[in-house]
């Protein structure tokens, strides 16, 4: 079979990297980065995922088509999340013609129900 053989050393290194990332993300969660806290957590998760997909799952050494197949699911998930959140993030932001409500920074968080 044609699949490329990767040395176990690489695998162990990747695993070490994963563990370090896990440690990092755990540590980061103990510190308050404000709005960046979730961003950091998700970015680290994405890096972890890429390590697993590219090395453990051999995508890095596979055909272009495999890349496309591997990306498709995530791309479509992004479509679903983006457009749906597009709804929830903008709910209640059309100001009625009613002028009695003053111009004010409308808090979408609690308006969006």
Partner 1 sequence: MAEATNAIAEQFDSSEQQHESAWLGLWAFLATEVLFFGGVFLGYIVYRHVYYESFVLASRTTNLVYGTVNTAVLLTSSLTMALAVHAAQVGKNKNLVRFLILTILLAITFMGVKGVEYYEHYKDHQIPGPSFVLKGAPEGELFYYFYFTMTGLHALHVVIGIGLLSVMALLAARRRFNPAYYTPVELSGLYWHFVDIVWIFLYPLIYLISRHS
Partner 2 sequence: MNIIEETHPPPPAKLEPDYLEAGHTVRSWLLTTDHKRIGLLYLFSIIFFFFIAAVAAGIMRLELLTPKGDLVLSETYSKLFTLHGVIMVWFFLIPSIPTVLGNFLIPMMIGARDVAFPKLNLLSWYLFMAGGMFALYAIIAGGVDTGWTFYTPYSSRYSNSHVIEMATGIFLSGFGSILTGLNFIITVHKMRAPGMTWFRLPLFIWSHYATSLILVLATPVLAITLLLMALERIWGIGIFDPRIGGDPVLFQHLFWFYSHPAVYIMVLPSMAVISELIPCFSRKQIFGYKFIAFASLAIAFLGFLVWGHHMFVAGPSVYAGLVFSLLSFLVAIPSAIKVFNWTATLHRGSISFETPMLYALGFIGLFSLGGLTGLFLAALGADVHLTDTYFIIAHFHYIMVGGTVLGFMGGMHFWWPKITGRMYPEKMGQLAALVTFIGFNLTFFPQFILGYLGMPRRYHAYAPEYQVYNVLSTAGASILAVGYILPVIYFIWSLHKGKKAPANPWNATGLEWQTPSPPPVHNFYETPLVVKGPYDYSPEEEERKLEERHG
Partner 3 sequence: MRVPFFLDQASTLAPRVDALYYGLVALTAIMMGIIFLPMFYFLYKYRRGNKADRRPIRIPTWKIEMTWTVIPLFIVIGFYCWGSSVYFEIERPPAKAMEINIIGKQWMWKLQHAEGNREINQLHVPVGETVRLTLTSQDVIHDFAVPAFRIKQDVLPGRYVVEWFKATKEGTYHIFCNEYCGVSHASMIGEVIVMSPAAYQDWLARGQPEETLVQSGERLFRELGCSGCHMGNSQIRAPRLEGVFGKPVPLQGGQFVVADEKYIRDSILLPQSQIVYGYAPLMPTYAGHVTEEELFQLIAYIKGLGNKQPEYMK
For 48, counting Cβ atoms within 10 Å of its Cβ (0-12 exposed, 13-18 middle, 19+ buried), the class is middle
Closest contact distance (angstroms) between CB of 94 and partner 3 is 6
b/e string for 90-107 if b means 16 or more Cβ within 10 A?
eeeeeeeeeeeeeeeeee
Closest contact distance (angstroms) between CB of 5 and partner 3 is 48
Give CA–CA dist 64/27, Å, rounded: 37
- Among partner 1, partner 2, partner 3, none, the one that 56 touches (CB under a kind-dependent 5 to 8 A) is partner 1
48 close to 26: Cβ distance less than 8 angstroms: no
8 touching partner 2, by CB under 8 A: no
2 or 100: CB nearest partner 3: 100
Closest contact distance (angstroms) between CB of 34 and partner 2 is 26
Residue from the set 16, 20, 50, 79 that interacts with partner 2 by CB under 8 A: 79
């Amino acid at each position: 079979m044609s699949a490329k053989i990767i040395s176990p050393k690489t695998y162990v290194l990747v695993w070490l990297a994963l563990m370090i990332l896990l440690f990092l993300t755990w540590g980061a969660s103990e510190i308050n980065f404000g709005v960046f806290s979730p961003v950091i957590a998700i970015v680290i998760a994405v890096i972890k995922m890429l390590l697993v997909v590219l090395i453990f799952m051999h995508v890095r050494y596979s055909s272009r088509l495999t890349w496309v197949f591997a990306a498709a699911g995530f791309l479509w998930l992004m479509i679903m999340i983006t457009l749906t959140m597009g709804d929830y993030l903008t709910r209640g932001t059309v100001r009625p013609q009613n002028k009695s409500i003053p111009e004010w920074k409308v808090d979408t968080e609690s308006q969006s129900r």
